[in-house]
Structure 1
Amino acid sequence: MADLDQREWLLTNGLGSFASGTVSDVRTRTYHGWLFAATNPPSERTLLLSHLEASLEVQGKVVALGTNYWGSGRIEPTGYQLLRSFDINPVPKWIWGDDNWQLSRQLVMPYGLVEPEKGGEKGAFSFLSPLSLPSSTPHPTLCHRLLIQYRYEGTEVGILRLRLLIGDRDFHHQQSASPELHFSQVLLPQQVCLQAIIGGRFGTPWHLRWTQGDYQPDGVWYWDYRLPEETQRGLGDREDLYSPGYLIVTLKPGDVVTLEVRVGFPEPHPDLLSCETFTEAIEAEEERLSQIFGWERRDEGDRKENPPLSYAQSPIWQQLLKASDRFVVYRASITGPTVIAGYHWFNDWGRDTLIALPGLALVPQRVELAKGLLRTFGYYCRQGLIPNVFPDVGGEPFYNSIDAALLWIETLGLYLEATQDWQFLAEQFPVVQQIHKAFVGGTRYNIHVDATDWLVSWNARNVALTWMDAVVGGEPVTPRLGKPVEINALWYSALCWLSQWAERLSQIQDSNSSERLAKQAQRYAQQAQQVQVSLQKFWNPKLCYLYDTIELDDRRNCQIRPNAVLALSLHHCGFPQEQGRQVLTVATSSLLTPYGLRSLDPADPQYIGKYQGTPEERDRAYHQGTVWSWLIGAFIRAWERFYPEEPLPFDWQPLLEHFLHDACLGSISEIFDGDAPHQPKGAIAQAWSVAEVIRYLPKS
């Protein structure tokens, strides 16, 4: 632990709030802090408590336990040199020590969605869309809080000083000291209430309470913290933090002090805060997860004597499921569940949610969560399009995606295959028909079916509607106008689903509806056959690969991208066996890495092997060679279809090592450099990255 270990940890609360930092306890990002509260869940995330700067006095000697980067280039103090260990399970825990003392610190962020006493079975509100609940169902209570616990061991009495470093700023931006920014504090017995005042406007109120100690008001600004990760990303990298005061705690050997940070003003009659409160919070979270995922809670001794009998109960599998749950959050604007695309900086996205849903919900058998998400997206279908982004406060969602609607049909199909919930199909089938009608007749962004070949095309300048959606200076980096290959593969699969569903519904409807649905089933099947024939336009015999896009002027884009693999990975595949095998051969040699698929062949002149530099440089590299780990799921699906008897040419070990020991401990990064050694980049925890590993790791 003598090095400045900058691997990261993450805590969440099911509302979009989070805490995050590094193993060595130094803040390196704008997004590092102990309480970012999502004041309008899961949005409007606001830094309230950055951290507690700790020092310990033993036998008259004071040692500083914190570590900070400063604008001058100094690292001071250097508390990381006294770090003896760090552990992430079950919660982040640091241990500092010297010859005659040891101090540990643990953090836990309790789940923040408190169920109403009425409104169905336990947990129903969390997982079901409110669209299916009675209008009389009460809203849940939302609680943003953090518990901190210090434990002291030593030969002499120690004096622990904890200085508060606080803020009130959007999580994307740094805070600067300003005459317009003040912090009020009201000191009460064993607690202090804090609130920013910014140009006469009141910020978010919150309070800190503790089990023992004396608080000393001592307002002072700490200027010019440096955030080196933001320097690397070409963004603002300086921060000022305010300290309203500090807590002094005298600790005898074996003493424990527990603190609670909670958003809002203090309650008139709060629950008792004790040393047991921290342990109870950990146990409550373990119980919540065990109820969701159906695993048995066992203490460490029991695990050693009776190791897991099945892979589903193994520690790594449980850690993956725990990681997946961090992305499932409550959205206030729809009063229902949604999925955070990634931490730290992403919000919820429709495309990401639908791609991640099988791994997050179907594999772990969170059926009601899957159903609630699908129902919510179906409810917001407009002009045949499914939302890609929900607004934070009121208003209509954003419909800037061509694939979200088709992914919704594909994911609905996977849900129905897993559940046989034909009543839900009957409920959602009008939405399916609306999407079909809009694509055939034309909708926003000039999305339409070409009457000559029945392939889906689109034409809208200055936007990017596929998953390769980076835009720089108002211009898409990979515009993909015309007929993208994976979009038309999704369209083919959708038509197959429609034919299958219309046929099934015809068997359970009345005679008039039955005849109409049977005819629709035939029509959908005929359209699927037309599309399957036209999909051959994407075959490139020279490269033995699929063209990425048939452009508006009918030219073919022959770049080797993973979209061809996506096209082979859907439930219904329109490409023949020999072509699929040849595509996978090329993809294996050009795109496959130990962490996922590259977004572009390294031999391509436009390939960019490292994701680095300014925001514009990174955006230009985003889909030009960068490795995306979620694409490994598509590769495995395609491989199992076209090479069912052949071993998968992918070693899980590097990706699992990354999950356990790299970047964000206990999660999987969004992207990796295209060039070896494939350094992790982007968001430190990404929903679809984790979800696709969950979806396929048990089969490995």
Structure 2
Amino acid sequence: MFDLDTREWVLTNGLGSFASGTVSDVRTRTYHGWLFAATNPPSGQTLLFSHLEASLEVLGSVVALGTNFWGNGQIEPTGYELLRSFDINPVPTWIWGQDNWQLTRQLLMPYGWEESSEWGQGGISNAPCPMTPVASTEGTSATHWLPNAHSQFCHRILIHYRYEGSDTAILRLRLLIAERDFHHQQTAGPTLQFSQMLGQQQVCLQAINSGRFGIPWHLRWTQGNYQPDAVWYWHYGLPEETKRGLGDKEDLYSPGYLIVILQPGDAVTLEARVGFPDSMLGLNVLTAKTFVEAVEAEQERLSQIFGWNKGSRGAEGQGSWGSGELGNNYECPMSHDTSRLKSGNPPTALAPQCPMPHAHSLLWQQLLKASDQFIVYRASIAGPTVIAGYHWFNDWGRDTLIALPGLALVPQRFDLAKGVLRTFGHYCRYGLIPNAFPDVNGEPIYNSIDAALWWIETLGLYLEATQDWNFLAEQFPVVQQIYKAFVGGTHFNIQVDATDGLVSWDGRGVALTWMDVVIGAHPVTPRYGKPVEINALWYSALCWLSQWAERLSQLEYGSPVRLTKQARRYAQQAQHVKTSLQKFWNPQLGYLYDTIEPDDRRNFQIRPNAVLALSLHHCGFSEQQGCQVLDLATASLLTPYGLRSLDPGDPEYKGKYQGNQEQRDRAYHQGSVWAWLIGPYIRAWQRFYPQQSLPFDWQPLLDHFLLDACLGSISEIFDGDSPHTPRGAIAQAWSVAEVIRHIQ
């Protein structure tokens, strides 16, 4: 028997749609449900299909398999007490049972595009053509992101039940549905109605709210009889939202239920799909094999991307994904021994291959699978981007560029990296790279000082990995645009100080670095003036520019004489900046000032931005300074899950990320541990302590990935105080990316 296990899982479809829930199958968040459809990929996530409330009748005895929190604090029914096992691999799988029966349920969200001869069927109307992976000639596992005229968006989820027992059973599945934005709860009312239209083994559903028709979708099944029986279920409780000080009650509508008579060994598959039922039924028939075929298709897709052995369950190669009932004998990384992956020095470079030890290749595959969940198609730019985290984040420029080396360069997804860099470069304005794209027609949002500098840094890493000098020649005008804007001045008073060559900014009421929380019109960590990691990025950018101008002159792209002069000028500026970076050195503390403020005051708080400054491809600080910074950061900021955002000894430190939104916002960058910062820490350590073992034990973070919070992913943040409870988004792109970058 299981305890009430509220660890989470998430499924995605590459378009921004997702499904999510808990091990015990109880919904604890607004973001739990089986079909959140991204109506404007990757945004507009709308809950359509919450779940199926299941009960099983065997020999006249009926047992409820669901588990629900209610607004009055009760838990009823308590189906989790019959839950025998849960496994996340290869798909989320629950097994309920008693002495004389066992019921298995599996969920799969297929990748969000499919071939179709009838454009517009089965998807959201008027959707643009999605990208299609095509095998690349530039690497064994690279992927082109190209639109395919024969493809369409497809938002769906498959549900598969299998019954084992000695007697006939009756499975009842009651539909619970909604239509609401994924950030808010649904409330029953006279203006909200749902229509349903029955067909052959399917029902089409659509909300009508104040006379406005909602998103059509349909549910179909391989066997069973559907009974219309409209009823509202009021006041589901959402305890995680209670903790966060947000709306925590939900009403769900049930249009009816499905009755399925199951003999021992029988199975039933259901599919919930956005859109009206496809008129070309002969091309897309739901059968008993549909679920297994869909799992095999997903494994084939991942195999093509990452170069895995097709049909393999991992390094051992024991059978194919489709052999037998999925999950019966699957050896998964969630229980795989990781004890040998403790401390040590991972390779520094972005390796062109994935040298994860053979014994741990299952873990490596799980990390890569987790990374793929963040890669999505954005309709408004007709190209790939990166969801920063699930459940509630969209794509962010800074996060995308920091995560890209781990998500794309290490696993050799070079065309993906190139596509993202090209897209962001295309939208460069005023020398700034967008930090967010709009979901409808309109200009991107340019509210970041560092996204442009991270774009240059990541472009440099891409070029180091690929030697793609044609791409450098294509993007060099964007590089020069950024340089000229920073030197000459741009929005938010971003400008190079002519006296010392350092980058400064001053825009009141905004926060332009990664520590970007603003409450009202007041940034929690303003960091006006000259932030240390911004100027370290600026130094690295100037070094890149000098190298690139020299390279292009040698390859005769443009005027060699002009490029050589530019290379010399960039190198001179880089040297000037390197000298001026010493202004950040605090000899009394043996650390770097976090910010030189506009009035030239120094902020001496111990923050991880000093470590960031040491971790870039080009570093402007001495070996002695680097070692001293790392010694203090190790003592004050390092935890088993990443770096704290502020020294616990600081009077502004907040050790727990909890409470209402304002309380949480005030702790976000004032002590919370950020998992992604373990990557910069490792890179800095390898630079300044190359002969010493890394003072970091991988095991807690790997255990978190395998067994905690969101199974098979890594949380955004953790409490600064022990035991470092996971907080924030349950799956964060740059958290996963930085582990991939170093746990090789």
- Determine whether 1:238 maps to 2:266: no
Q: Within 1, Cα distance between the matches of 2:415 and 2:314?
A: 34
- Within-5 A mapping of 1:219-298: 219-270=230-281, 271-297=284-310
Q: Within 2, Cα distance between the matches of 1:37 and 1:140?
A: 18
Change (3 A) 1:301 1:518: closer
Runs of 5+ consecutive residues of structure 1 not aligned to the other structure: none
Helix, strand or coil: the match of 2:559?
helix
Output one character per residue of 1:250-283: Cα deviation in whole Å (capped at 9) or x when no partner: 1111100000110000011221111100000000
Helix, strand or coil: the match of 1:96?
strand
Change (3 A) 1:197 1:120: closer
- Determine whether 1:33 maps to 2:33: yes
- Within-5 A mapping of 1:597-608: 597-608=643-654
- Within-5 A mapping of 1:537-556: 537-556=583-602
- Conserved? CA contact 2:495–2:505, under 8 Å: yes
Helix, strand or coil: the match of 1:122?
strand
- Residue 612 (structure 2) aligns with: 566
- Conserved? CA contact 1:454–1:534, under 8 Å: yes
- Conserved? CA contact 2:134–2:145, under 8 Å: no
- Residue 316 (structure 2) aligns with: 303
Change (3 A) 1:158 1:22: same
- Residue 557 (structure 1) aligns with: 603
Q: Within 1, Cα distance between the matches of 2:2 and 2:548?
A: 61
Q: Within 2, Cα distance between the matches of 1:671 and 1:595?
A: 8
- Determine whether 1:507 maps to 2:519: no
TM-score (ref. length: structure 2)? 0.91
Output one character per residue of 1:354-382: Cα deviation in whole Å (capped at 9) or x when no partner: 00000000000000000000000000000
Code of the residue aligned with 2:285 in structure 1: it is: L
Change (3 A) 1:121 1:129: closer
Q: Within 2, Cα distance between the matches of 1:169 and 1:305?
A: 44
Helix, strand or coil: the match of 1:46?
strand
- Residue 209 (structure 2) aligns with: 198
- Residue 183 (structure 1) aligns with: 194
- Note the C-alpha offset of 1:115: 6.4
Out of 343, 356, 359, the residue aligned to residue 406 of structure 2 is 359
Out of 129, 143, 163, the residue aligned to residue 152 of structure 1 is 163
- Residue 61 (structure 2) aligns with: 61
Code of the residue aligned with 2:2 in structure 1: it is: A
Q: Within 2, Cα distance between the matches of 1:100 and 1:215?
A: 27
- Determine whether 1:122 maps to 2:134: yes
Helix, strand or coil: the match of 2:25?
coil
Code of the residue aligned with 1:522 in structure 2: it is: R
- Determine whether 1:401 maps to 2:448: yes
Out of 325, 346, 364, the residue aligned to residue 372 of structure 2 is 325
Q: How many residues align?
A: 692
Helix, strand or coil: the match of 1:148?
strand
Change (3 A) 1:349 1:128: farther
Q: Within 2, Cα distance between the matches of 1:483 and 1:557?
A: 10
Output one character per residue of 1:42-100: Cα deviation in whole Å (capped at 9) or x when no partner: 00000000000000111111110000000111100000000010010000000000111
Output one character per residue of 1:396-448: Cα deviation in whole Å (capped at 9) or x when no partner: 10000000000000000000000000000000000000000000000000000
- Residue 339 (structure 1) aligns with: 386
- Residue 585 (structure 1) aligns with: 631
Q: Within 1, Cα distance between the matches of 2:390 and 2:79?
A: 27
| RMSD of aligned Cα (Å) | 1.9
Out of 510, 535, 538, the residue aligned to residue 463 of structure 1 is 510
Out of 514, 517, 533, the residue aligned to residue 579 of structure 2 is 533
- Note the C-alpha offset of 1:302: 8.1
- Note the C-alpha offset of 1:4: 0.2
Change (3 A) 1:10 1:574: same
- Residue 42 (structure 1) aligns with: 42
Q: Within 2, Cα distance between the matches of 1:459 and 1:529?
A: 25
- Conserved? CA contact 1:129–1:375, under 8 Å: no
TM-score (ref. length: structure 1)? 0.97
Helix, strand or coil: the match of 1:378?
helix
Q: Within 1, Cα distance between the matches of 2:579 and 2:28?
A: 54
Output one character per residue of 1:540-575: Cα deviation in whole Å (capped at 9) or x when no partner: 001000000000100000000000000000000000
- Note the C-alpha offset of 1:18: 0.4
- Residue 8 (structure 2) aligns with: 8
Change (3 A) 1:659 1:120: closer
Code of the residue aligned with 1:340 in structure 2: it is: I
- Note the C-alpha offset of 1:623: 0.2
- Conserved? CA contact 1:19–1:32, under 8 Å: yes
- Note the C-alpha offset of 1:613: 0.3
- Determine whether 1:640 maps to 2:686: yes
Change (3 A) 1:139 1:508: farther
Q: Within 1, Cα distance between the matches of 2:382 and 2:150?
A: 8
Q: Within 2, Cα distance between the matches of 1:338 and 1:40?
A: 14
- Conserved? CA contact 1:378–1:431, under 8 Å: yes
- Conserved? CA contact 1:116–1:138, under 8 Å: no
- Note the C-alpha offset of 1:138: 3.1
Helix, strand or coil: the match of 1:521?
helix
- Note the C-alpha offset of 1:114: 3.2
- Conserved? CA contact 2:235–2:249, under 8 Å: yes
- Residue 75 (structure 1) aligns with: 75
Q: Within 2, Cα distance between the matches of 1:644 and 1:249?
A: 63
Q: Within 2, Cα distance between the matches of 1:500 and 1:323?
A: 35
- Note the C-alpha offset of 1:507: 1.1
- Residue 695 (structure 2) aligns with: 649
Q: Within 2, Cα distance between the matches of 1:276 and 1:115?
A: 19
- Within-5 A mapping of 1:390-469: 390-469=437-516
Code of the residue aligned with 2:189 in structure 1: it is: S
- Note the C-alpha offset of 1:155: 1.1
- Note the C-alpha offset of 1:690: 0.1
Change (3 A) 1:347 1:103: same
- Conserved? CA contact 1:30–1:172, under 8 Å: yes
Code of the residue aligned with 2:709 in structure 1: it is: A
Output one character per residue of 1:559-609: Cα deviation in whole Å (capped at 9) or x when no partner: 000000000000000001100000000000000000000000000000000
Q: Within 1, Cα distance between the matches of 2:149 and 2:525?
A: 46
- Note the C-alpha offset of 1:673: 0.2
Q: Within 1, Cα distance between the matches of 2:666 and 2:356?
A: 44
Q: Within 1, Cα distance between the matches of 2:612 and 2:151?
A: 39
Q: Within 1, Cα distance between the matches of 2:395 and 2:454?
A: 16
- Note the C-alpha offset of 1:298: 5.0
Helix, strand or coil: the match of 2:197?
strand
Code of the residue aligned with 1:232 in structure 2: it is: K
- Residue 683 (structure 1) aligns with: 729
- Conserved? CA contact 2:27–2:33, under 8 Å: yes
Runs of 5+ consecutive residues of structure 2 not aligned to the other structure: 118-128, 320-330, 334-354
Change (3 A) 1:310 1:127: closer
- Conserved? CA contact 2:196–2:204, under 8 Å: yes
Q: Within 1, Cα distance between the matches of 2:465 and 2:707?
A: 33
- Note the C-alpha offset of 1:140: 3.8
Change (3 A) 1:129 1:381: farther
Helix, strand or coil: the match of 1:463?
coil
- Note the C-alpha offset of 1:301: 10
- Note the C-alpha offset of 1:32: 0.2
- Residue 624 (structure 1) aligns with: 670
Most deviating of 111-120 and 156-165: 111-120
Q: Within 2, Cα distance between the matches of 1:124 and 1:57?
A: 52
